[in-house]
Structure 1
């Protein structure tokens, strides 16, 4: 009798696991059964990293203007706060790499920010440099005025409530709620940053709530959900997935993290993250999948081949020419959110 109950239990467990696996796989391919598809007001294949830092000095008005002129569909940038309360575009908090001055953005007034170096190495393309006539830092508000309808990714580079609030207010003031995307990489404050940004977003408007990019913690959670089969059952608040193309690591991009310099770790990262079935599932749910930073044609080809809907590059002209030579399928129609 006990033996019979034991085998019956094993059989029931196997049936339950089998049913779970079948349901998970089916819903992975057919997510609309459980989830309403997201309807974004933008669809961007071409994204310029720091305004296209390989062709002009990064994050300058000249760089952003050039990228838009050659056909970019989205601009990516990083936000900091000056001592006099201005939201300024700068990748680094400390200005040594960019200007040669060992000062932080928050310690200076906007008018006292030094000029960029005349020649600046491209972070994601070691050994390559950019130059330009414009070497001035840019205010976020000036970019909003210059490009009122251009989608932008705004990365919050500081764990700073005031910075988040000021960026939120600017987005609302210039009516950019539906085509501005929030991002953050503050791993040390990941849960904190996530909750603060969510709160800020909700206070602005409902459409803006959807335009979130997966932060580090949420990206890890996304992979865990995918590999455990739970992803098809879980609602997602984000609109975009932005991730490294792992093949650039230690080739065009040399990371500071020692762990990423190990060949096996990069190989494992490639195998775990570049999953076409994962990307297809997210796309079917209305998310956009962007890979960065692709500064060679072979990397652009690899990114689109694995299922990316968009590519981020430091070389907007190169990316424009690549897309012209290799046009992807037409994007889905953009409809107004309900």
Structure 2
């Protein structure tokens, strides 16, 4: 049986830990130097705004930039002839109707005339594509070409770009790093993936480019947050990019979701969407991005919780919301 003196010691220790943890959670710069932010992004266009134009196309990117987006989010793969292209899918069945992998195709297979016209091996996008994060959403457009990453860099030299490295491929990571360095965009780029191994390779390849939290690291941050340890732990990443779990409910048929699944979604949303967590991270200079939100009530929930930015498929809708949001 624990003696009264031992109990007092344990309780005082736990009390001191709780008070210190709470204090540092509110004022993290007492222990950690605030990260220097090279840019701030509130309005982020997912795949360039996949609900208003065909995703990941130059037309989508131009429209989003013209709407005043703070950041373009896009996805990268590498072709057989080692060109970095902007595409969400590695297999093009969904987006082009042709069951072929980007990695098995060359970007160009030849030229006509004196180099005036390149013959593309990559197939064009379909004229209409479903919007992944909007039930019943459909986008269409005339620009069906899969662009090169360097085209995006050249067209938008002053726009921050969020790059999702879609496959664990050392050459892809190296090529993206070289392009970022070539266009002197280290201060305007963030990269990574949900997979821890990819983020680690990105950071090792070029530590001058800030990185996203992987899923593994997001879960670790949550564990540290709920045990009170987060304020004591140094953080390398600068961008906490997370989904809003509750949006799953609108994407699926309500009758297809069981009560247990609804409970798990509610629990995940409750655990992840925490203002105290967002405020702590932003106080340390870490930007918090919530994806992919396409409704005004979702935008409001994210910003009310203290999110730095929202990622959307509808740049126009988010712009209008931000104009009225206070």
The two structures have a TM-score, normalised by structure 1, of 0.89
Cα gap change, 1:261 to 1:6, in 2 (>3 Å): closer
Residue of structure 1 aligned with 2:141, choices 118, 127, 132:
132
CA distance in 2, matches of 1:24, 1:134: 53
Match of residue 175 from structure 1: 184
Deviation at 1:194, TM superposition (A): 3.2
Match of residue 294 from structure 1: 293
CA distance in 2, matches of 1:64, 1:236: 31
Residue of structure 1 aligned with 2:130, choices 108, 121, 125:
121
Find the residue that maps to 2:263 and give its secondary structure.
Answer: helix
Q: Is the 8 A contact 2:199 2:211 kept in 1?
A: no
1:193 aligned onto 2:202: no
User: Which range moved further: 241-250 or 71-80?
Assistant: 241-250
CA distance in 2, matches of 1:260, 1:123: 24
1:157 aligned onto 2:166: yes
Match of residue 331 from structure 1: none
Find the residue that maps to 1:76 and give its secondary structure.
Answer: strand
Match of residue 229 from structure 1: 228
Cα gap change, 1:162 to 1:225, in 2 (>3 Å): same
Residue of structure 2 aligned with 1:20, choices 17, 20, 34:
17
1:80 aligned onto 2:77: yes
Match of residue 38 from structure 1: 35
Deviation at 1:298, TM superposition (A): 1.3
Find the residue that maps to 2:163 and give its secondary structure.
Answer: strand
Deviation at 1:213, TM superposition (A): 1.0
Match of residue 48 from structure 1: 45
Find the residue that maps to 1:251 and give its secondary structure.
Answer: helix
Find the residue that maps to 2:191 and give its secondary structure.
Answer: strand
Unaligned runs of 5+ in 1: 328-338
Deviation at 1:261, TM superposition (A): 8.9
1:263 aligned onto 2:262: yes
Q: Is the 8 A contact 1:84 1:108 kept in 2?
A: yes
CA distance in 2, matches of 1:185, 1:197: 12
Deviation at 1:326, TM superposition (A): 1.2
Match of residue 89 from structure 2: 92
Report the count of equivalent residues. Answer: 311
CA distance in 2, matches of 1:197, 1:7: 53
CA distance in 2, matches of 1:312, 1:223: 21
Q: Is the 8 A contact 1:40 1:178 kept in 2?
A: no
1:165-209 deviation digits (Å, cap 9, x = unpaired): 0000000110011120012023xxx3x32331221123xx3xx3x
Match of residue 325 from structure 1: 324
Deviation at 1:6, TM superposition (A): 2.9
Q: Is the 8 A contact 2:294 2:312 kept in 1?
A: yes
Match of residue 336 from structure 1: none
Find the residue that maps to 1:138 and give its secondary structure.
Answer: coil
CA distance in 1, matches of 2:258, 2:47: 25
Match of residue 315 from structure 1: 314
Cα gap change, 1:260 to 1:75, in 2 (>3 Å): farther
Give 4+ residue runs of structure 1 displaced > 4 Å after superposition.
258-261
Provide the aligned C-alpha RMSD in A. Answer: 1.7
Deviation at 1:252, TM superposition (A): 3.6
Cα gap change, 1:272 to 1:260, in 2 (>3 Å): farther
Find the residue that maps to 1:23 and give its secondary structure.
Answer: helix
Unaligned runs of 5+ in 2: 108-119
Match of residue 332 from structure 1: none
